[in-house]
Amino acid sequence: MRHFTLFSFLILLSASNISAQSAKKYILLEQFSNSFCSICANRIPQFRSNLQGFENDYHLISFFAPSPYPACIYYNANKPQNDARISYYGVQGTPSVFVNGSRVNQGSSIVPVALLEEMSDDTSPIELAVSKVNNGNSVDITVNVATLGELPVLPGGGSYVLHTIVVETLVVGGPLPNYQNHHNVFRTMLTPNSGAPFLAANAGEEVSYTFSFQPEAGWNADSLVVIAFVQEVTTKNILNSGSNVDPISSSVRETEKLSFSISPNPANEFLRVNMGDIIYPVDFQIFDLNARLVQSGRISAELIDISKISSGQYWISIRSGNKSGVLPFIKTP
């Protein structure tokens, strides 16, 4: 049984003095290989050689596929979530590498140095800062996403999701003598397989997600790194990524928490919102899993009538002044 827990999809917004219009855009590399694959054994080392000199420009996640051998131990270590990413991209064979959401396989080098040089100067309207705190048997993760400029307009009702993924920086082993060192091995997703709805903050503000997980036996807890990225669902384009080992940027600030709670959860007809010291009225929005707005309004008391929305999982956003918070809830039939 997988020992990790999503602590909360808590999202916090606060005004901050962010003057920049764009941030450094990291190159997100999603590698799909197989520990029994002899072609992988020949090409992945060349791929890693091409990455030398770009250590401060990219984030790498190494997924494992059942092709050409389903017995790959790294694939079977988390088969459902490896399969989810394989299915999303339609991966047919290994080795395959997706760069910022697009497949790039150019001969033995897979991703050429020229492409890395070109992409290393790219910028993004958002910036991700990831923090990781060990608390005994659990690890607490915070992902802050600062909005610095205008996000691209998405045609046809497109939407963004946040993925937060745990990798182990180096795992040694496998059946092929010349393919023993596996870098940034995928361990688990802290967000759902399809990602968590990403609700961008206004320009000059931040949004924050918090998670908690427990490392499994066999993982080197000291070598775990958390990588988060925002991706457009349909085009697969990566808006930006971040990790807990990135240099700290001055444009990402501490956010002030908006405390509130909801009950009951699951709920059927009414959702009770306890605002603590916050004074009513407050504005609310309810989003589905695809970040589509399904209900909104202003409340001057604790109860919100949710009887008209369909059963399922939702997020409710409460805004008071320039601060906002989001919590998940389940609507029952």
Dump pLDDT digits (tens) for 299-330. Answer: 877 889 999 999 988 888 887 765 667 778 89
- Asked whether residue 314 falls in the same domain as residue 265, the answer is yes
Specify if 277 maps to a domain. Answer: yes
Mention every residue, 6+ apart, whose C-beta is less than 8 A from residue 220: 168, 171
Does 249 map to a domain? no
- How many domains does the chain divide into? 2
Does some domain include residue 255? no
**What are the angstrom distances between the C-alpha of 260 and each of 206, 257, 282, 327?**
18, 9, 12, 9
C-alpha span between 64 and 95 (Å, rounded): 9
Tell me the whole-structure pTM to 2 decimals.
0.79
Do 196 and 279 lie in a common domain? no
For tokens 């029952």, the residue is 332
Q: pLDDT (tens digit, 9 = 90+) per residue, 17-75?
A: 444 588 999 999 999 999 999 999 999 999 999 999 999 999 999 999 999 999 999 99
- Regarding whether 234 and 270 lie in a shared domain, the answer is no
- Domain range for 36 is 4-243
Residue 275 lies in a domain: yes
Pair 40, 165 in one domain: yes
Query: What would the mean pLDDT of 241-267 be, rounded to a whole number?
Result: 74
Q: What is the CATH number of the domain that holds 166?
A: 2.60.40.10
Give the chain's radius of gyration (CA, Å).
Answer: 21
Residue 265 included in any domain = yes
Within this chain, do residues 225 and 271 fall inside the same structural domain, yes or no? no
Contact between residue 261 and residue 316 where contact means Cβ atoms under 8 Å apart? no
In a domain? residue 256: no
Q: Are 213 and 4 in contact (CB under 8 A)?
A: yes
- The DSSP-derived string for 34-95 is -TT-HHHHHHHHHHHHHTTT-TTTEEEEEEE--SS-TT-HHHHTTHHHHHHHHHHHT--SSS
Using alpha carbons, list the distances in angstroms from residue 114 to 43, 106, 169.
17, 12, 25
Residue among 239, 252, 151 at smallest CA distance from 208: 252
Q: Are residues 36 and 135 in the same domain?
A: yes
Question: In this structure, is residue 161 part of a structural domain?
Answer: yes
Instruction: Please tell me the predicted confidence (pLDDT) of residue 83.
Output: 98
Same domain, 187 and 303: no
Residue 250 in any domain: the answer is no
The CATH code of the domain that includes 280 is 2.60.40.1930
Same-domain status, 103 and 234: yes
Query: Are 194 and 297 contained in the same domain?
Result: no
Does residue 312 sit in the same domain as residue 204?
Answer: no
SS3 state at 308: coil
